[in-house]
């Protein structure tokens, strides 16, 4: 079975890491205040960094990024499907034909969330 990278737990830990960075507290102080295990904090930070590196490595051979950080892509009428890895780490998998306008709307929502 293939592990899905967009899990609820992953999104929760992305939010926790962002809150800690914005808090101005040390990791130890933040974990104590949030009643979190420091070991879990460091483990999730490492996992999410590795996933971000993997997503970045997959994009390195592609065309240069535009100002928004996305690789320009061209949609073709193909029933094979599409997988997009958003810079936040969230994966979007679409099977069948891809509606370009709908995909742009979904990506815009992810960009606005900031905590995805």
Does residue 14 have a pLDDT over 60? yes
**CA nearest neighbour of 52 among 90, 82, 16:** 90
Tell me the per-residue pLDDT of 40-65, one tens digit each, with 9 for 90 and over: 999 999 988 888 887 776 655 544 44
The helix/strand/coil state of 40 is helix
Domain boundaries, the chain: 8-113
User: Average pLDDT, whole number, for the chain?
Assistant: 75
Of the candidate ranges 37-41, 54-58, 89-93, 105-109, the one whose mean pLDDT is the lowest: 54-58
Return the half-sphere exposure (C-beta side, CA atoms, 13 A cut-off) of residue 59.
20
- Burial of residue 20, with CB atoms counted within 10 A of its CB: 0-12 exposed, 13-18 middle, 19 or more buried: buried
Does residue 73 have a pLDDT over 90? no
Between these two residues, 92 and 19, which has the higher pLDDT value? 19
Does residue 29 have a pLDDT over 90? yes
pTM: 0.47
């Amino acid at each position: 079975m293939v592990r899905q990278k967009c899990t609820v737990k992953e999104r929760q830990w992305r939010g926790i890491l962002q809150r800690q960075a914005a808090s101005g507290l040390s990791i130890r102080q933040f974990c104590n205040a949030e009643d979190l295990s420091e070991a879990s904090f460091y483990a999730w930070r490492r996992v999410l960094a590795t996933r971000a590196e993997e997503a970045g490595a997959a994009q390195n051979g592609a065309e240069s990024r535009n100002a928004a950080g996305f690789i320009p892509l061209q949609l073709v009428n193909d029933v094979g499907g599409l997988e997009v890895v958003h810079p936040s780490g969230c994966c979007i998998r679409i099977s069948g034909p891809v509606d370009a306008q709908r995909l742009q709307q979904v990506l815009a929502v992810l960009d606005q969330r900031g905590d995805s």
